[in-house]
Amino acid sequence: MPRITREAKARNRQNIVEAAGRMLRSQGVDAVGIADLMKEAGLTHGGFYNHFASKGELAAEACSASFEASLGALDQAREEGTGPAGSPLERVVDDYLSAAHRDADDGGCPSASLVIDAGRHSDTVQSAYTGGVEGYLTGFAEEFAREYEGEITSEEARNKAVLLLSRLVGAMTLARAVRQVQPELSDEILRTCRAHALD
């Protein structure tokens, strides 16, 4: 039987991480079995342990990779600067608190979709989640400092960042929790928080 190349093994691992990111964000860590995850990645169940020691190890890596992609969107908004659609933070708020993000099949940003799982799982998963949260807080604080140049301290910028991320995650979590039985309330939560997230 031919051995798999190093490149193919790396590609398979990447496929597993990407599949896990989508599935864990949309369904939660406990709801996703290894067999289903490997099937989603286009691989056999038995190959899982060639790449990961445990589901927790994969969950941590998938969480980190999901945050990396999400933080890339924040970095892009910051690089583009203020434009017709508003400041970078205004655009982030509009995108994050949109119906499209709320209803995303892949669960959207891990900050809201994995918030409960991070608190219930291993330190490894929680550390990966914490790294993503810190990435958002750093990016937000830097942008607040830029927008309010000379008007606020770095501590005040950090406080604003904590408030903003808490508002975004809280609003998205609530909007998702009620959307099926009371979609009007879900829309109201998003609309109200979009209007006041940066207050």
| Residue 81 backbone zone (phi > 0: left; psi -120 to 50: alpha; other: beta) | left
Distance separating the N- and C-terminal Cα atoms of the chain: 63
Q: Which two tokens stand for residue 85?
A: 């659609």
Q: Which CATH number fits domain 55-196: 3.30.465.10, 1.10.357.10, 1.10.150.530, 1.10.1270.20?
A: 1.10.357.10
* 51-80 exposure pattern, b = at least 16 Cβ within 10 A, e = fewer: bbeebeebbbbbbbbbbeebbeebeebbee
pLDDT in tens, 120-135: 988 999 999 999 999 9
- Per-residue pLDDT of the chain in tens (199 residues, 90 and over written 9): 456 788 888 898 999 999 999 999 999 999 999 999 899 998 888 889 889 999 999 999 999 999 999 999 899 999 998 888 899 999 999 999 999 999 999 999 999 999 999 989 889 999 999 999 999 999 999 999 999 999 999 999 999 999 999 999 999 999 999 999 999 999 999 999 999 999 9
Which residue type sits at 47? G
pLDDT of residue 182: 98
pLDDT of residue 1: 46
Cα 85–chain centre separation = 23
Whether 112 and 98 have beta carbons less than 8 Å apart is answered as no
For the chain, what are the domain ranges? 55-196
Could you tell me the CA-to-CA distances from 98 to 10, 11, 20, 171 in Å, in that order?
35, 33, 24, 11
Give the span between the Cα atoms of 23 and 62, in whole angstroms: 10
Q: Which two tokens stand for residue 36?
A: 């289903």
Whether 59 and 121 have beta carbons less than 8 Å apart is answered as yes
Longest dimension (CA), the chain: 67
